[in-house]
Amino acid sequence: MLGLAMLSVDRVSYAINGQALLREISFDLTPGEVLAVVGPNGAGKSTLLNTIVGDLSPSSGHIMLDELPLRAWTPLDLAKRRALLPQTSTLSFPFTVYEVALMGRNPHDTSNARNAQISQDALARNGMLHFAHREYPSLSGGERQRVQLARVLSQVWELPETGSRYLFLDEPTNNLDLAHQHHSLQVAKQFAAEGTGVLAVLHDLNLAAQYADRVLILCAGRVVALGTANEVMTTEILCPAFDLPVMVMKHPCLNCPLIVSAFGEAAQVDAGIAEMRQPQAEVAT
Q: Kindly write down the DSSP assignment for every residue of the chain, as one continuous string.
A: ---S--EEEEEEEEEETTEEEEEEEEEEE-TT-EEEEE-STTSSHHHHHHHHTTSS--SEEEEEETTEEGGGS-HHHHHHHEEEE-S-----S--BHHHHHHGGGTT----HHHHHHHHHHHHHHTT-GGGTTSBGGGS-HHHHHHHHHHHHHHHT-S--SSS-EEEEEESTTTT--HHHHHHHHHHHHHHHHTTEEEEEE-S-HHHHHHH-SEEEEEETTEEEEEE-HHHH-SHHHHHHHHTS-EEEEE-SSSSSEEEEE-TTSS----THHHHHHSPPS----
pLDDT digits 0-9 by tens, 43-78? 999 999 999 998 999 999 999 999 899 999 999 999
Q: What is the pLDDT of residues 77-110, one digit of tens each?
A: 999 999 999 987 777 788 999 999 999 999 999 9
Quick check: 141 pLDDT over 80? yes
pLDDT digits (tens, 9 = 90+) for 161-216: 888 999 999 999 988 999 999 999 999 999 999 999 999 999 999 999 999 999 99
Rounded mean pLDDT, 237-256? 92
Quote the pTM value.
Answer: 0.88
